Amino acid sequence: MMDGSHHEKRRLENPPATIKFKIQRREREGAPSRYETFELQYRRNLNVISALMEIRKNPVTVEGKQTTPPVWDMSCLEQVCGICTMVIDGRVRQSCSALIDDLLLASGGDTITLQPMSKFPNVRDLKVDRSRMFGHLKQVQAWIELDGTYDLGPGPHIPNEIAQERYAYSRCMTCGCCLEACPQYDGDNYIGPQAIAQARLFNMHPTGRITEEERLNGLMGDDGITNCGNAQNCVKVCPMNIPLTKAIYETNRDITVDALFGWLKK
């Protein structure tokens, strides 16, 4: 028997015989949305993805109506590719790591609601198009400038503390949770925390710092960092626990310093 210490998980003691999935459906971008509900036998160890796979096999609603299989994106199923992000019971997160037992424990009910992210074009059902997030990475030049990829030996010495701090930012999987939760972000009006944190990632690197100004410039336009309203939702929903608000604060500071003293460099 396991003891009840906090290192072991709280289990769902009396699971319901069946669970319902209320899924937002949309045939294609621009079409009206509707909900359909599906019912599955409860099993231990289900996550949202395995439930969706079960529904996809035989898409019949609770009313007994044959329908089209729900469409969603999935790939790694280990919460590291970011593709399967959706809104589950009102909270944006990855569907692979959303365990049914945990969701039922949290809600106390037997129904789980699945919706697509609302801040991105809705391709169909639960699938969205987040390509603009990759555009943000171009805008902040989220890369290191190399002289070439031929052999020039190792990179600069870096203290492990800096490496660890950068590592936290470098785990960003471009999932879009921070943008979905941000009250300021709505399409192209604000670049958002994801790109700001990536600018920070490269500005912290000894080589990346050389081109810091270009990166900061990408954050100083109308859609730039000043749009942050400090709601701090981003950091609460980030599945990788990236210190997004710290990145925003430090980048803001760097922009101020650059504005005050940048002319000295010219």
Q: How far is CA 161 from CA 43, 168, 193, in A?
A: 44, 11, 23
Residues 140 and 218: beta-carbon distance below 8 Å = yes
76/231 with CB nearer another protein: 76
Q: Which residue has the tokens 């599945």?
A: 239
40/227 with CB nearer another protein: 40
Min CB(25)–another protein separation in Å: 10
Min CB(137)–another protein separation in Å: 6
170/227 with CB nearer another protein: 170
CA–CA distance, 217 with 237 (Å, rounded to integer): 27
140/225 with CB nearer another protein: 140
Min CB(183)–another protein separation in Å: 26
CA–CA distance, 84 with 156 (Å, rounded to integer): 36
3/13 with CB nearer another protein: 3
Min CB(231)–another protein separation in Å: 26
Token representation of residue 88: 């589950």
Residues 181 and 175: beta-carbon distance below 8 Å = no
Residues 158 and 206: beta-carbon distance below 8 Å = yes
CA–CA distance, 210 with 149 (Å, rounded to integer): 18
Min CB(229)–another protein separation in Å: 28
